[in-house]
C-alpha cells in the first residue's frame, strides 16, 4: 500500500513558515512498520524560496530516520520501563506488544531501549514529562527534535513559540 503524505497536513497553521514560499521539489519513499504491515509512504520534499533550504516535513506519528512509528516505540518503552517491579510481568506485556507487531524483532526492541536510555530518558524528565504524556510538541519545543529522533537534524519548520 502506498500513501502520499501531503505537506499542508503536517504544518500547523500558526507555523512561522509562509506556505506560499514553498515549492514542491520532489518526493521520496519511506517504509513504515505499521501493525503487521510494511506501508510505503511518499514524503513530499519542498524548497523554501526565502531561506533556500530543502525540507521534508513528516507527520508527527513518524520518527525521523526510523521505520517504527512513534506510538509503537512508546508502547515498547512503556512495556519495558514500567514501574512494575515484577520482571516476569514486564516480559509478558512486552511479548503481547511484540505479538501484535509481527515486523518488530528483538533487535528493534533492544535498539529502541538503548536509544531511549542514551538520548531521551533524562531529557523527558528534565521537561517534566513521562512516557504517558504527549511528547511530540514538548520535545520539538525544547530540543527541536521529534521524540526518539536520534540524529541532530533540527525540525526547522516549527518555532519554539508555536509549540505547546
Interval 40-65: pLDDT, tens? 888 888 888 888 888 887 888 888 88
For the stretch 97-129, pLDDT in tens is 888 888 888 889 889 999 999 999 999 999 999
Helix, strand, coil abundance in the chain, percent, nearest 5: 40, 20, 40
Q: Is 109 exposed, middle or buried (0-12, 13-18, 19+ CB in 10 A)?
A: buried
Q: For residue 28, what are the CA distances in angstroms to 23, 39, 63, 146? A: 15, 14, 16, 20
How many angstroms from the chain centroid is the CA of residue 8? 18
Tell me which residue has cell 518488530. 104
Amino acid at each position: 500500500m502506498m500513501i502520499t503524505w501531503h505537506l499542508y497536513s503536517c504544518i500547523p497553521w500558526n507555523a512561522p513558515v509562509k506556505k506560499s514560499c514553498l515549492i514542491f521539489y520532489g518526493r521520496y519513499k519511506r517504509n513504515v512498520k505499521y501493525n503487521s504491515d510494511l506501508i510505503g509512504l511518499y514524503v513530499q520534499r519542498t524548497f523554501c524560496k526565502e531561506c533556500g533550504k530543502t525540507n521534508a516535513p513528516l507527520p508527527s506519528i513518524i520518527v525521523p530516520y526510523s521505520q517504527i512509528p512513534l506510538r509503537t516505540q512508546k508502547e515498547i518503552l512503556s512495556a519495558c520501563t514500567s514501574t512494575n517491579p515484577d520482571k516476569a510481568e514486564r516480559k509478558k506485556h512486552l511479548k503481547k506488544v511484540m505479538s501484535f507487531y509481527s515486523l518488530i524483532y528483538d533487535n528493534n526492541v533492544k535498539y529502541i531501549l538503548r536509544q531511549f536510555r542514551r538520548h531521551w530518558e533524562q531529557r523527558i524528565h528534565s521537561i517534566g514529562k513521562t512516557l504517558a504524556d504527549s511528547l511530540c510538541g514538548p520535545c520539538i519545543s525544547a530540543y527541536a527534535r521529534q521524540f526518539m529522533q536520534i540524529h541532530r537534524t533540527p525540525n526547522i519548520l516549527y518555532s519554539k513559540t508555536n509549540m505547546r
